[in-house]
């Protein structure tokens, strides 16, 4: 047995905080990877939606022939759900995948750390917030790491691994082994605002919103231009709707505040859409209206 494989023996049960798109996806890949999973959220309806989404996504993989029906059944049997933080007491690692707000994450860590085993690791799926700062709100900065999965988690192969200033090398090595075991490709990123992917991707999306705001092109023209002119599989405004406009705005605010450079200023039109509650696909309206049979541009 290799050293890497031996080290993974320390991770048998993984906790996931948040049963939304990201947390549900992380629970899905961990259970499929053979780990026992404990999944929590703030209320029963949120957990129920999470369970249903995992079931649906596993069924899709069965239909595509990437997994067997018995793999799906075994994965679902490995996931335990509940609302109480105390469920994490026997977990070897807990991955936080709550909303992209620092105060919410800090509050979660405050409740989480007293119930954890001393040797348990904590990972955060934040897409932009300082790992060093989040780690400092726990009792174990050395055992804290950023593990940023891409959406949708079962499909996307990248995981960004971000060390905080205090993260132990052992924590990084074990988390890297976990990513590989889940069939992902880990990439190390430094603890700078928005890391690698979102540091590059979100300013592009923000610039697309500015292009719309200034009347350079319509929603349809901008997305078509980038799909056909840059060979992107999805236009930037369609992608923004998929990510969630509130998440896009949060990341841009982290970049703008963290790097103090005017090029990261969130577009006022992005702010207006978020204030209207037009957050993209999850709200049925964003740069496109999703309430009909086919999405219709809203501008």
Does 160 qualify as catalytic in the annotation?
Answer: yes
Catalytic site residue from 57, 198, 206, 250? 198
**Which residue in the list 57, 96, 125, 127 is annotated as catalytic?**
127
d(CA 276, CA 273): 5
Q: How far apart are CA 44 and CA 35, in angstroms?
A: 23
Given the residues 28, 100, 125, 148, select the one marked as catalytic: 148
Which H or E run contains 133?
helix 131-135
* Sequence-ordered list of residues with C-beta below 8 angstroms from that of 94, at least 6 positions apart, any chain: 14, 15, 16, 17, 88, 112, 116, 120, 121, 122, 123
Bridge-based pairing of strands 158-163 and 144-149 is: antiparallel
79 pairs with which residues across the strands?
Answer: 37
- Per the DSSP assignment, residues forming a β-bridge with 122 are 94, 144
CB atoms within 10 A of CB 294: 7
User: Is position 148 annotated as part of the catalytic site?
Assistant: yes
What span, in angstroms and rounded, lies between the C-alpha atoms of 233 and 223? 10
- Give yes or no for a contact between 147 and 159, defined as CB atoms under 8 angstroms apart: yes
Q: Which of 160, 177, 206, 238 is catalytic?
A: 160
> Distance (Å, rounded) from C-alpha 38 to C-alpha 17?
8
Cα–Cα distance for residue pair 244/238, rounded to 1 Å: 10
Distance (Å, rounded) from C-alpha 96 to C-alpha 81?
Answer: 15
- Reduce the DSSP state of residue 158 to 3 states and report it: strand
Distance CA 132, CA 146 (A): 9
Paired sense of beta strands 288-289 and 296-297, if any: antiparallel
Residue pair 130/191 in contact (Cβ under 8 Å)? The answer is yes
Active-site residue numbers? 127, 148, 160, 198
């Amino acid at each position: 047995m290799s050293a890497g494989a031996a080290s993974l023996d320390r991770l048998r049960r993984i906790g996931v905080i948040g049963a939304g798109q990201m947390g549900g996806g992380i629970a899905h890949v961990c259970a499929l990877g053979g780990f026992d999973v404990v999944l929590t959220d703030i209320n029963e309806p949120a957990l129920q939606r999470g369970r249903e989404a995992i079931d649906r996504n596993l069924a899709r993989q069965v239909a595509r022939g990437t997994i067997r029906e018995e793999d799906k059944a075994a994965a679902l049997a490995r996931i335990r759900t509940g609302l109480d933080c105390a469920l994490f007491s026997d977990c070897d690692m807990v991955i936080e995948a709550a909303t992209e707000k620092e105060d919410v994450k800090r509050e979660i860590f405050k409740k989480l750390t007293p119930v954890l085993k001393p040797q348990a690791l904590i990972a955060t799926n934040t897409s932009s917030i300082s790992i060093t700062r989040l780690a400092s709100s726990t009792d174990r900065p050395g055992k804290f790491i950023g593990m940023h999965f891409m959406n949708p988690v079962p499909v996307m192969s990248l995981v960004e691994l971000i060390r905080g200033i205090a993260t132990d090398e052992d924590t990084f090595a074990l988390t890297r082994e976990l990513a590989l075991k889940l069939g992902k490709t880990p990439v190390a990123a430094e603890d700078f605002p928005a890391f690698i992917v979102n540091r590059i991707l979100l300013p592009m999306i923000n610039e697309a919103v500015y292009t719309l705001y200034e009347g350079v092109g319509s929603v349809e023209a901008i997305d078509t231009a980038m799909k056909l002119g840059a060979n992107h599989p999805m236009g930037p405004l369609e992608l923004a709707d998929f990510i969630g406009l509130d998440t896009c705005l949060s990341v841009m605010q982290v970049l703008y505040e963290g790097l103090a450079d005017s090029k990261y200023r969130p577009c006022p039109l992005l702010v207006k859409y978020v204030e209207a509650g037009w957050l993209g696909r999850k709200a049925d309206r964003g740069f496109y209206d999703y309430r009909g049979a086919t999405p219709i541009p809203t501008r």
